[in-house]
Structure formats: structure tokens, C-alpha cells
Amino acid sequence: SEDKTKNKCVVKMNEYWHDIANKFPKIKLDLRYIMAPMVNQSDPCFRSLCLKYGATCVYTEMLYSYKIVNCEGYLRNRLQVIDHTFCGKNYVSRPLIAQICGNDPTTLSECILKLREYSKICPIEGLDFNLGCPQDRAKDGLYGSYLLDRCQWTRVVECVKPITTALQFDNH
């Protein structure tokens, strides 16, 4: 009885993911077990470890758009692809979704162009514009969930437009 219910749930979930794959055939990611982005935690080694233990997709830590644009070596430190071998199986820190934050449309557009260029070295399968971080640093920097205040909606639209215009990652 409990096993039958559990099996029905597993079948329903498999059907759900199959339906998503059919609706979005260009998405080649297995989105069943996503490692969520975590500030100062989702480094390349941690991402590889999560993939080893069953994650099917991993995120970078939150990347600051202004640092991507202005700080030499910032991307290299945070987006390196690390090959690891655990128990005879190779784990590479991919598939990778880059999460960025910011509030300036020009900086975000430049950030996307740098990410696109860097994606030739460290392939990035997707991008997440952070509109959810509730931390104090997000409040201080006016990004994350603090952009969702009604008075910031125009800014969000202004930020998303250049992202969608500049964002055309090549298929890997």
C-alpha cells in the first residue's frame, strides 16, 4: 500500500519530467536533481562533489555582474571546470548554470558578453538572473529579492532586456 503509493509518485514524477523534455526539446539538461546556488559555497569542487552524489545540474555561487566586468580573474576563480575521478568515474563540474546579480542594465549587458566569451573556456549551459536573494548584502546592493519591490519593477525590466538581447550561449 505505501510502496504502491510511492511507486505511483515516482511514475508521476518521471511522466512530469518527460512532459517537460517534450515541451522544451532544445533544453538538454536533466533537471530532476538541481543543486541550488549558494553564496560562497557553490565553488567548482563543491559542484563536482554534488554531481558525484547525484545532482543532475549545478549552479555557480551568486556572481556579481560588476565584478565580472571589472575584476580581472574573477570568472577564472569561480567558473573553472574541474575534472575529478571518484571510484573510477569521471565527474566534471557540468552541466553548469551561472547565477548573476546586479541592478545596472549596462553592467549586466557587459557581464553577459564576458560570460559568453568565457563560456568558450568553461561551457555554461544556462543563466539565472537572481531575483530571489533575501540576504542583507542584497538589500545593501539593491539586487536579488529587493528588486521585486513594486518601485523597482521598471529597473527589473530595464535589466532583463539587455540580458535577453545579449544572451545567446552557443550549444556545447
3-state DSSP assignment of residue 130: coil
34, three cell numbers: 538541481
Those residues with Cβ within 8 angstroms of residue 133's Cβ, 6 or more apart along the chain or in another chain: 39, 62, 101, 143, 144, 145
Q: Is there a catalytic annotation at residue 133?
A: yes
What CA–CA distance (Å, rounded) separates 93 from 52?
9
The catalytic position among 57, 101, 111, 133 is 133
What CA–CA distance (Å, rounded) separates 42 from 166?
25
| Residues marked as catalytic | 133
